[in-house]
Amino acid sequence: MIIEQNFIFVKRGEILNVKISVFNYLDADLPVKVVLEPSAEYDIIEAPPTGTAGGVGGGGAEGVEGVGVVETMGLVGIGQRRSCIPAQDKTVHTVKLKPNTLGDVNITVWAEVDPLYPDQCGPEYVLSKRDHLVKAIKVDIEGYPKEKTWTKYICSKDIEDNSDSLESWPITLPSTIVPDSARGWVTAVGDLLGPTLENLGSLVKMPYGCGEQNMLNFSPNIFILQYLEASDQTTPEIAEKAIDFMKQGYQRELRYRHRVGSYSAFGSSDAEGSTWLTAFVLKSFAQARQFIQVDSEDINMSREWLRIQQMENGCFQSRGKVFHKGMKGGLDNGGSPVPLAAYILVSLLESGELATSRTVSEAAFCLLADNTQDPYTLALKSYALALASAPEAEMVVQQLIALATVTPTSMYWDLPAGSGKSKGVAVEVAGYAILAMTTLDANLYHHNTFKIVKWISSQRNGQGGFISTQDTVVALQALASFESHQEAGNGTDLVVTVDAAPLQHNFHIDNTNKLLLQSTPTLPSLPTTVSLDMVGEGCALIQAVLRYNVPEDQATEAFSLSVETGTRHDPLCLTKSIKVCASYQLPDNTSNMAVVEVNLVSGYIPIKTDLKRIVGYGTGLIKRYEVDGSLVTFYVDEFTRREICLEFGMTRHVDVEHVKPGTVKVYDYYQPEYFTTQSYTLPDECLTEPEPVPEIEGIITDPIIVGDYNYNYFDGEVIEPAGGGVRDPGEGGVNEEAIDDLLAVLDTPMRMP
């Protein structure tokens, strides 16, 4: 017995037609009763029963299932079917269900030999047999997900000396949200890195499909273990988890390595390595050597490749693609090469380069020749010079402080809107400022770094990260450095009280659990006001998280977006198409690396040969695609004012009723506040006549072999397939044999003797 559909993803409110196949491998007919068990997680919606049957060995008349049709006794009770299955045949029953909870919903089905079958079916005496299976379906909520956070880092001494105070947070909802989508909670932890420890591997809700983004699952583990070892807080469980993430990240990152020792976002599909990414990887791999095995020869090759890029003025050539505008320093417009030079200098020094080396001294000359007052450049430069023990580092830090916005409880840097100047870049500036100050003199600058830490903490997302990849890595390194320089004091012994009527909850935080992220139950009433109180001694990071969905998102003007859908010629009316076109509209004319996310209409899967064709061999602007459930993600080098379009087909493999619209989102990876969205529906029309296929001499279509439905395609290969091969249905049409393979790949038929 199997449930024929694999990879089932639906949205709340949709009705799913579940096909249950029961196989009879005997040489005699067999009466069988099938029951879909009731559950609080779904409603069973009865309809006239249907049943089809055909030879298990491949016989039977042709049809959608490729089998013949037999009469069944059909409906017995709610979610129940009975049938007489012919010898060496199968029966397919369809039951409609409507999920009413979110997340993973388990469907339980059992089948048994039916002794009460009313008509003659098979031999007079049949042994009693029973089989059952459990199938999970994924149920998402409709609309666009949104998140708001309110965060406070506060110490008991701040309250005692009236330098800071606890707050009340009004947790409000927008005027239009998807019904029942709002949920909120409050967390508390006694260590700045506590939220990160809890969510290693999911620090930001963004894709991780290129060489730089993969490092987000690698680098934070280094800073965490360094800090925990320095503060004598390491536990075997934490160390094992962090080291496992590092080992996985290290192996994945090697895919993006070039033979000369450099790295690029998409590996060998890029023409050359990137100085920026190579510097990022070098410092991370070098520091990871104290925890995992890293090939020293690879590190030496990367370091030497960076040295070769140094020019006569001490700065470095910008090789390869730099996706992060802040790092470019205006290079595309004849601007300063200093941010990149400072970043490379930091990498060399953190990877073990001697501060007295010629490479370091010449790089410092490059930095000091620059007089820019840009906060991002100053912050990076100050940290690089501090690591190099340059006497000018103190002066640069003072210049940076002079540009800061200072309040009684915070210090941060306002950045003008525009190219590279986003919330994420502001977090990076603050992080580099902390690193520079703690490197120079942690005690001298403690008053400043404490205020910066309070501001950085207020920018955290609900997963323990921040905005995007680079700002999260820099901020976590800065927080680890700050915590490592904190005096031990008298330890932590706190009670934090959360009042969000009618909920009241106490968190007890002490030295035994200060790394543990504690959470309230889901807030029972929204909107509400969260009031905080704290007694005892120590510091706590307190955060309220609100998540909800909206029917339509408030897009920015950064991107234009158009979405068209259509029907492809298909005798079974199963194939549709979608075309997405986008361009960049802001005055700086070019985006950072961008992401196109297509959330498919429920019941459809993408035609993989189309996705492969869009990416090609990674030499164009669209570098890579990923499929995760119902979400298809494309990585785009950059968007300009010139429109970029992509089009692919999708095939219906699950029959879903009351279908909700699909969604398309385009956003800047490093400035995710720059985005646009659009909903779409699929047409009802059906084009059954075959579409003429042009003959193009010299082109051979070779279908890709894919393991699981969650797969990545990159640089001519499938990354990490999870199951057995499935033949692709091909472009524009439906390969019935491929569909049969797809429907059967997950479950092995159970014999009913």
pLDDT at residue number 553: 86
Q: Which residue has the higher pLDDT, 716 or 655?
A: 655
Q: Where do we find the tokens 């297509």?
A: 598
Indicate if the pLDDT at residue 390 is higher than 80.
yes
Range with lowest mean pLDDT among 211-215, 410-414, 492-496, 512-516: 211-215
2-140 against 551-744: fold identical: yes
pLDDT-derived band at 79 (thresholds 50, 70, 90) equals confident
Tens digit of pLDDT for each residue in 597-637? 999 999 999 999 999 999 986 668 898 999 998 999 999 98
- Reply yes or no on whether the pLDDT at 417 is more than 50: yes
Single-letter residue type at 284: S
The residue with greater pLDDT, 749 or 423, is: 423
The percent of the chain in helix, strand and coil, each rounded to the nearest 5, is 25, 30, 45
Q: Assign 342 a pLDDT band (cuts: 50, 70, 90).
A: very high
Q: pLDDT confidence of 124, banded at 50, 70, 90?
A: confident
Q: What is the pLDDT of residue 181?
A: 93
Higher pLDDT, 361 or 230: 361
Look-up of token digits 């520091």: 287
Say if strands 130-140 and 9-11 run parallel, antiparallel, or are unpaired.
parallel
Q: What is the C-alpha separation between 198 and 201, in angstroms, rounded?
A: 9
Phi, psi dihedrals of residue 263, rounded to the nearest 5°: -130, 150
Query: For the chain, what percent of residues have pLDDT higher than 90?
Result: 61
- Give the CA dihedral 617, 620, 621, 624, nearest 10 degrees: 0
Tell me the pLDDT of the chain averaged across its residues: 84
pLDDT of residue 70: 33
Contacts of 308 by beta carbon, 8 Å cutoff, 6+ apart: none
**Could you tell me the fold of the domain covering 2-140?**
Immunoglobulin-like (2.60.40)
Q: pLDDT-derived band of residue 688, with 50, 70 and 90 as boundaries?
A: low
Residue pLDDT, tens place only, 26-70: 889 999 999 999 999 999 987 554 444 443 333 332 323 323 233
Domain ranges of the chain: 2-140, 145-190+404-487+496-550, 551-744
On the question of pLDDT at 709 being above 50, the answer is no
At residue 43, the pLDDT reads 93
What is the average pLDDT across 537-557? 92
Model confidence at 2, in pLDDT bands (50, 70, 90)? low
Give per-residue pLDDT as tens, 358-381.
Answer: 999 999 999 999 888 889 999 999
- Which top CATH class is 145-190+404-487+496-550? mainly beta
Mean pLDDT of 511-526: 95
pTM over the 0.85 mark: no
- Report CA 571 to chain centroid distance, whole Å: 37
- Cβ proximity of 326 and 389 under 8 Å: no
pLDDT attached to residue 38: 92
User: DSSP per residue over 355-413, as a string?
Assistant: TTSHHHHHHHHHHHT-----HHHHHHHHHHHHHTT-TTHHHHHHHHHHT-EE-SS-EE-
Summarize the confidence of residues 134-159 as an average pLDDT.
Answer: 93
Residue 276 dihedral angles phi and psi, to the nearest 5°: -65, -55
Given this model, what pLDDT does residue 215 score? 87
Report the pLDDT value the prediction gives residue 691, as an integer from 0 to 100. 56
Supply the pLDDT for residue 336: 79
More confident residue, 719 or 609: 609
Q: What is the DSSP letter of 312?
A: T
Q: What is the pLDDT confidence band of residue 729, given thresholds at 50, 70 and 90?
A: very low
Look at residue 64 and give its three-state secondary structure: coil
Are the C-beta atoms of residues 701 and 637 closer than 8 Å to each other?
no
pLDDT at 555: 82
**What is the arithmetic mean of pLDDT over 529-543?**
96
Average of pLDDT values for 166-189?
94
- Which range has the worst mean pLDDT, 350-354, 553-557, 644-648, 697-701? 697-701
Q: Would you say residue 175 has pLDDT above 70?
A: yes
Reported confidence tier of residue 165, pLDDT bands at 50, 70, 90: very high
The domain made up of 551-744 is a member of CATH 3.40.50.620: no
Taking the CA of residue 716 as centre, how many other CA atoms within 13 Å lie in the half-sphere pointing to its CB? 6
CA distance 662 to 66: 30
